[in-house]
Amino acid sequence: MAMMSHVPLNLYISLIISNNKEVMLSSFGENGLRQSEMKMNMIRNIIKEVAWRTHKKTWEVVNLFFGMLSDVYLNDNTLRIFTRQELVEYIEEEQEYFKKIYGGL
């Protein structure tokens, strides 16, 4: 991951999501995360690194990350086959599943 000196945290996370958009959009919801070890590992590594680099609390970074991922889901034209409500539910499921699995991150 790139160095984040002088880059706002939300912009840095947004860039990471953008650079890994294919993986981030490859599966959805709790079932999607269960099936995509690559996505789970990527999210875990992003959150750990950002929390470490910024000295932010891990769950502050988790909430920011999933909030920004939600924006990506809701604004991506390829996901128009899903309703807004379905996308919101998917991101909520992913965040809860992530917290359940990596509670002690």
At 84-93, the pLDDT tens digits run 999 999 999 9
Q: Is 78 exposed, middle or buried (0-12, 13-18, 19+ CB in 10 A)?
A: exposed
Please tell me the predicted confidence (pLDDT) of residue 35.
84
pTM, two decimal places: 0.84
Per-residue tokens: 29: 């919801």
pLDDT, the chain, mean? 87
Which tens digit of pLDDT belongs to each residue from 37-84? Answer: 889 999 999 999 999 988 889 999 999 999 999 999 999 999 989 999
Rounded CA gap, 73 and 32, in Å? 14
